[in-house]
Amino acid sequence: MLYSKIIKGDIFIDGCDRVFIPYKGWKIMGKDGKLLNDEVIKTNVGPLPSISYSPASGKWHLLYNILDKSGNKILPKGIRHITYFQDGYYLLEDNNEDELINRGDVKGGFLAKDYLEEANILFNDGHLLSQEWYNTVIPLHNGYFKTIKDGHINYVDRLGNIFPSICKNIIGFDGKTSYSCEEGFLYETDKENKVSVKKLKRFTESGEFRIGSYQIKIAGNNFSEMNEFLSNIGNGYLLVDDLSSETGRVNLISKDGYLIFNDWYDLIIRCPQNDGLFVIKENGKYKIIYMNEQCWEEKVFDNILFADNYFICSYEGYMSIFNPISKKLDVEIDFDSIMWADKIIWGMNIFYKGEIIHYWNGQGGDLIDYAHTIMISNQHNSLLIGKKGIWHLYDGKNKPIPLFWFVPNQ
C-alpha cells in the first residue's frame, strides 16, 4: 500500500508509526504491521444517520439529509452542509446557488442579489431549534445561538427562547446580558428585562485616527467627515485607533459617535463567538472585561490568547486555561506550551516560551500536519498541551491523554 507520509513511532507514546494514506487519512501501523484507525482523529458524525444524493437532472452539488430512528427524512428537503457539534447538535446550512445556476437566466452564473442562505440547528433528539429558518446561525460559547434573519440579530437558547431585549440595536451579548447603544447611552438588559444604563462620552478628539479600516485626520471640532462615515456602519461599532498617540491607544466607537469604553487601552480584542467579552491590554498587562468594562476575571496576565473555545492566560511563566462559560478548568493540568488550529484556513499555532509560532499548510513537517488533523476533528473540543516536550490531547473534560514528544523550533 502506498503511504504518502510516514511518522516514525519512536516519537509516539504507544511506539507505533503513523502513516498517511491518500483519500483515507492518517492510520496507526501496529507492531504486527496491521493498520488501525486512529481514535484521536475519528470524526464524530453524531447519533443520527445521514444520507447524501445528487438530483437527477441539472448541475447540482451533493445534498444531505438526516434520518430519524425509523429511517424517515427529518428535513423537508436536502441541504448543502451538515456539521455535527459534540455539544449535541447539528448545524444545518443551505443556499440556493444550484437553483439559480439551473434556472439559467444569467449566463455563466447568477446575480448576487438573488443569492440566499438559510440555516438552522437540529438537536440529537431530532427537533429543530426553530421551524422558521434563519439566514445565519452562529453557535456561541455562552450557551446561546446567534441568529440573523433579514438583518435582525437575536440570541436563542437551546429551548428556542429568545433572550429578552427592549432594544433592537444589540451590539453585544455575553450570555447573561445584552448590550445596545442608542443616543449616547449603553443599555444593559438581563433575562428579567431589568435595564441599567451607562452614559457614554462623545468622541471629541483631534488628530489622526483609524476607524475600522478608514483613516481620517480630524482638526478642531470638525467631525463631519467622521460622522458621515459612521452613519453607514449599521447597528454595530468600530475600533478607533489613535494614530497620533506615541504609545498607541484604542477604543470602540458607536455609529452615532460615542465611545463605548470610558478608558482608552493599548489593545482591544473581541472574544470570538462571545459578543460581550473583550481582552484588553493596559500598562503592559492583559485582562478580560465585559462590554460595560466590569472584569470577567479579576486577575491580570502577561498575555491572553484565544485558542479555539478557550482563553489561554500566562503570568510569570505559569499558564492557565479558562472555559468562557464556566470560567474554570474542568480538570487540573500543568503545562508549559499549547497547540491549536486556525478555524477558517489551514494554520497551526504553538505558544511556547512566551512566543507564538505559526505554521501554514506545508510548514512544520508531517507531525504538525498530523496534529492539525487531530485539531480539526469535530470529535474533540480540544487542544494539544505540552509539558517538557510531551504533548497531551485535552478536551476540557477528561484527563489529558499523552500522545507524542515534540520540541518546537523557534
- The pLDDT value recorded for residue 42 is 79
pLDDT in tens, 177-208: 999 888 899 999 988 888 889 999 999 999 99
C-alpha–C-alpha distance, residues 210 and 240, integer Å: 6
- The pLDDT value recorded for residue 274 is 83
Range with lowest mean pLDDT among 100-104, 183-187, 367-371? 100-104
pLDDT in tens, 46-55: 999 999 988 8
Compute the average pLDDT of residues 75-82: 94
- The pLDDT value recorded for residue 167 is 65
Helix ranges (H only) for 76-188 are 97-103
Length of the chain: 410
C-alpha–C-alpha distance, residues 295 and 277, integer Å: 9
- The pLDDT value recorded for residue 355 is 87
C-alpha–C-alpha distance, residues 397 and 279, integer Å: 24
pLDDT in tens, 229-261: 888 887 789 999 999 888 789 999 998 899 999
- The pLDDT value recorded for residue 399 is 84
Residue with the bigger pLDDT between 50 and 106: it is 50
Residues 6+ apart with CB under 8 A from 266: 247, 248, 249, 250, 280, 281, 282, 283, 284
> Which among 366, 202, 195 has a CA at the least distance from the CA of 292?
195
Burial environment of residue 159 by CB neighbours within 10 A (0 to 12, 13 to 18, 19 or more): exposed
pLDDT in tens, 123-154: 999 999 999 999 999 998 888 999 999 888 88
- The pLDDT value recorded for residue 13 is 96
Residues 6+ apart with CB under 8 A from 113: none
Q: What is the pTM of this model?
A: 0.82
pLDDT class for 220, splitting at 50, 70, 90? confident
Burial environment of residue 399 by CB neighbours within 10 A (0 to 12, 13 to 18, 19 or more): exposed
